[in-house]
Amino acid sequence: AQRVTQPEKLLSVFKGAPVELKCNYSYSGSPELFWYVQYSRQRLQLLLRHISRESIKGFTADLNKGETSFHLKKPFAQEEDSAMYYCALRDRPRDNYGQNFVFGPGTRLSVLP
């Protein structure tokens, strides 16, 4: 079954320190991975997707098919990065007809001053 795991429920780092939020997946086809972020009292929103290979708010993520990972990284954490982060996978369950998104359990990032 398609699955996304995020081993850390809570990650605390100091401002200016590097941060890495881990994500591993299992998927039988060609995976498409996303990172979503949920700031306090705001809706869940897309942070970045692997096919864009972009850097958003200083965050990057590289898809490693060999290790089935899609870890989110930022070299210097800021206090405003404190939020809940979810890794997600696009699933196409019926021979490419239809799709849904499978989410990991989430990691709460706390950036301390």
Partner 1 sequence: DGGITQSPKYLFRKEGQNVTLSCEQNLNHDAMYWYRQDPGQGLRLIYYSQIVNDFQKGDIAEGYSVSREKKESFPLTVTSAQKNPTAFYLCASSMGKLEAFFGQGTRLTVV
Contacting residues toward partner 1, per CB under 8 A: 6, 9, 34, 43-46, 49, 86, 88, 93, 97-106
In the three-class reduction of DSSP (H, G, I as helix; E, B as strand; rest coil), residue 80 is classed as: helix
The least distance separating partner 1 from the CB of residue 76, rounded to whole angstroms, comes to 26
Residue 16 or 93 having the CB closest to partner 1: 93
Identify whether the C-beta of residue 101 lies closer than 8 Å to the C-beta of residue 34.
yes
The least distance separating partner 1 from the CB of residue 44, rounded to whole angstroms, comes to 4
Residue 78 or 100 having the CB closest to partner 1: 100
Residue 24 or 103 having the CB closest to partner 1: 103
| H or E element at residue 41 | none
The least distance separating partner 1 from the CB of residue 89, rounded to whole angstroms, comes to 11
How buried is 60 (Cβ within 10 angstroms: 0-12 exposed, 13-18 middle, 19+ buried)? middle
Phi first, then psi, for residue 80 (nearest 5°) are -70, -5
The least distance separating partner 1 from the CB of residue 2, rounded to whole angstroms, comes to 10
Phi first, then psi, for residue 31 (nearest 5°) are -80, 150
